[in-house]
Chains A and B, each alone.
Chain A
C-alpha cells in the first residue's frame, strides 16, 4: 500500500488530491501557460522557417566574389576627375580552383559551387527579356539550391548548348522544353541554346530572370576563358552564415556575403518577431511561477498542522521541504502535459485556417516547453518549501 514512491512524493500527491479545487486551478494556470509556450513557439518557428526556406530556395547561403574594383585616380591637378566603373565586364576570381578549395576547407561549409553570373537578354522572335545568365555545374549547384526537386519539366542536368529557364520566363517567351532561345550578352557575345528544362524556385523574380546554362557556355559568353565570377556555398547552420562568411573573407581575401547580410531586412523582422515572442513567453513563465508559488504558500499555511504532525511522527525538515518541491514539480509536469494538449489543439484549429505556411510541431519545442514548466514549478516551490521546512513543529501542531 504505502511502499513504492518516496515518502515526500506520496504525501505531495495526497496533499494535491486533498485540495482538489486548488490543485485544479493551479494545474489549469500552469497548463494555459504551457499552452501559450507551445502555441507561440511552434507558430513563430514555423512562420520563420517558412520565410527562410522561401528565401533560401533560390539563394545561396554565402556568395563569394572578387572585391569591387577600386579605380584610383592619379592625384594631379591636370588629371581628369571623373571616374567611371568599367561596365558590362565580369571580374573573374583569380586562381579560382585554389580559392574554391579554401572555401571548401572553411569550417561550417557543406557544399560549394563555381558560378559565372552576369546579365544579358533572352530573345525569342520579337520578344526580349532582361535576364541573369548563370553558368553552373548542375551537380554541384544542386548542392547549393535544390534544383532537382524544383523542375517542372525536363531535366535539371543542363549540358552542351542547353539551358534551363524559370516558369515565368518560359511563359513570357512562350518557351517549352526543346524550344530554342537566343542569349545575348553584348554585341559580340551571344549564343542560341535549347531549353532542356523549366524550373520553379518559388520566387517569381527568379523564375522570370534566371537562365541557367552550363558553366563552359557562360564562360564563353562572358569571355572569362575558364574563369568564374562567383563561388556559391552552403553552410550547415544557416544562422552561422555571417560568421562563416567572415571566415572565408579572412582566408581568401575575397568578399563573402551571407544570405543574412543580403536579406538584412528579413533578418531584422525575424529577430524582432523572435524576441517579442521570447518576451511574451518569459512573462507567461513568470506569471505561471508566481501563480504556483502563491498557491503553494497558501497551501503551506493550510497544511501547517499536518506538517507539525508529520514532524512529530519523525519526519525531517528536509522531507517536509521535498513534499512541497514535489508538489511544484507535479504541478509543472502535469501542467505541461495539459498545456501541450491545449497548445496542440489550438495549433490544430489554426491549421484549418488558410495559411501561407505549414505549422510544424517539432518535438524539441514541446519538450522545451515541458522542461521549462517543470523547472518553473520547482523554482516556484522553493520559497514555500523552505517555509514549510522551517515551521516549528511545536507551534505548527497547535495552529
Chain B
C-alpha cells in the first residue's frame, strides 16, 4: 500500500478533473478507520494516534478538543494531508488516500482542503488579495473570474478596501480574516482550522468565529476547528474530544 515517495509524479488515481465534491451528499469528506501514527522507531517508538475512527460529513461544523500532547496536531496534519498515517484507512471523498505519495497528497489537498492557522500564516510578500487567491494560483494561472471571486471573499470578511495591503499593514484580526477568505478560495469541501482564534482578542475572536459560521452556511463547507477555548467548542454543533491518541468523546451531530 505504500507508494514510493516520489515528489514530482502525480498519482493517476487522484486527479480526474476539478475539485472532487461528489454529488452523493452521504459520502463523508473524511473517513478514518483504525488510523494510527507512530513517531520514531525501535526503543524510541511512540504511538501518538492509537486507532482513530472518525467521519467528517459534508455539513459538519465540529470542534476538535483535547489536552496538549493528546495527538490533536498529529491528527490535524494527517487530515490535512500534510503527513501520512502509519496504518489504517484514510478516505477523502470516498477515495482511499492512506498510501498516497507527496505529490498525490498535494494535489488532493489543493482540491479538497482549506487551512486556517493560529498565526494566520499569510505570505508577507503578497497583498491581501494575492494571499486570498494563492491556493488557486499554486495550481493554475488566475482568470478574471478568480480575481472577482477573491474580491468577493475579501468583501465577505469585511476587507474589500484592504486588498492591496500587505499582511504587515493589517491588524491581527484583519490578518485572520484574510486567512479565512483564503481558506475559502479553492471552494474546499472541508476547512481545517488550527486554533483560529487562539491568538486574537475577544472581539476579533468573536468576529472570526462568526465569519466561519457564516462561511459554513453560505458556502456549504465543512469545518473542523481545533480549539482550547471552551466557549468556541460550545458553539460548535459537534465536539470531538481526543485524549491520549484515542477519541474519547464524539457528540456527533447536535
Which residue in chain B gives the minimum CB-CB distance to A398?
B73
Q: Is A224 an interface residue (CB 8 A)?
A: no
In the complex, B55 has a CB within 8 A of chain A? no
A309 and B121 contacting across the interface, CB-CB below 8 Å:
yes
Whether a CB of chain A sits under 8 angstroms from the CB of B124 is yes
Q: CA–CA, A392 to B7, complex, Å?
A: 12
**Complex-state Cα separation, A340 to B97, whole angstroms:** 53
Which one of A41-49, A266-274, A316-324 is at the B interface?
A316-324
- Residues of chain A at interface, number, CB under 8 A: 29
Q: Which residues of A contact B83 (CB under 8 A)?
A: 392, 394
User: What are 23 contact pairs spanning A and B, CB under 8 A?
Assistant: A3-B142, A3-B143, A7-B141, A14-B123, A14-B125, A305-B121, A306-B124, A310-B134, A312-B82, A312-B109, A313-B110, A313-B134, A314-B109, A314-B110, A314-B139, A316-B8, A316-B10, A316-B106, A317-B106, A392-B82, A392-B83, A394-B77, A397-B117
- Asked if B66 is at the interface of the complex by the 8 Å CB criterion, the answer is no
A-B residue pair count with CB separations less than 8 angstroms: 85
The answer to whether A314 touches B130, judged by C-beta atoms less than 8 angstroms apart, is no
Chain B nearest CB from A288 CB (Å) reads 25
Query: Would you call B149 an interface residue if the criterion is a C-beta within 8 Å of the partner chain's C-beta atoms?
Result: no
Whole-angstrom distance between the Cβ of B146 and the nearest chain A Cβ: 9
A313, B77: Cα distance in complex, Å: 13
**Contact status B106-A314, CB under 8 Å:** yes
Cβ-closest chain B residue relative to A320: B7
Cβ-defined partner of B8 (8 Å) among A2, A15, A17, A318: A318
Binding site for A on B (CB under 8 A): 7-8, 10, 77, 80, 82-83, 102-103, 106-107, 109-111, 115, 117, 121-126, 129-130, 133-135, 137-139, 141-143, 147, 182, 186
Query: Known contacts A1-B142, A313-B134: does B129 contact A394 (CB below 8 Å)?
Result: no
Q: Check if B125 sits within 8 Å of A314, measured CB to CB.
A: no
B103 touches A314 (CB 8 A): no
Measured CA separation A18–B123 after assembly (Å): 11
**CB–CB B142/A397 < 8 A:** no
Instruction: Type the 1/0 row for A375-399, where 1 means its CB is closer than 8 Å to any CB of B.
Output: 0000000000000010011100100
- Top 4 A-B pairs, shortest CB-CB distance: A314-B110, A317-B7, A14-B125, A394-B82
- Check A346 for interface membership: any CB of B closer than 8 A: no
Residues in A whose Cβ lies below 8 Å from that of B8 = 316-318
The answer for the CA separation of A311 and B108 in the assembled complex, in Å, is: 12
Question: Is A317 a contact of B102 with CB atoms below 8 Å?
Answer: yes
Q: Which of A14, A309, A318, A392 is most buried by chain B, counting CB atoms within 10 A of its CB?
A: A309
Within 8 A of B (CB), among A13-33: 14-15, 17-18
Q: Is the interface of A mostly helix, strand, loop or mixed?
A: helix
- Minimum C-beta distance from B194 to chain A (A): 9
* Cβ contacts A304-339/B at 8 Å (1 or 0 each): 011011111111111100000000000000000000
Measured between beta carbons, the chain A residues less than 8 angstroms from B82 are 311-312, 392-394, 397
What's the Cα separation between A3 and B142 when bound, in Å?
5
Is A2's CB under 8 angstroms from B130's CB?
A: yes
Question: Provided the pairs A1-B129, A317-B106 are in contact, do residues A397 and B121 lie with their beta carbons within 8 angstroms?
Answer: yes
Bound Cα distance from A276 to B111, whole angstroms? 57
Give chain B nearest CB distance to A129 CB in angstroms. 80
CB-nearest residue of chain B relative to A317? B7
| Contact in complex: B142, A314 (CB < 8 Å) | no
A313 x B115 contact (CB < 8 A) = yes
CB-nearest residue of chain A to B76: A394
Residues of B within 8 Å of A316, CB to CB, are 7-8, 10, 103, 106-107, 138
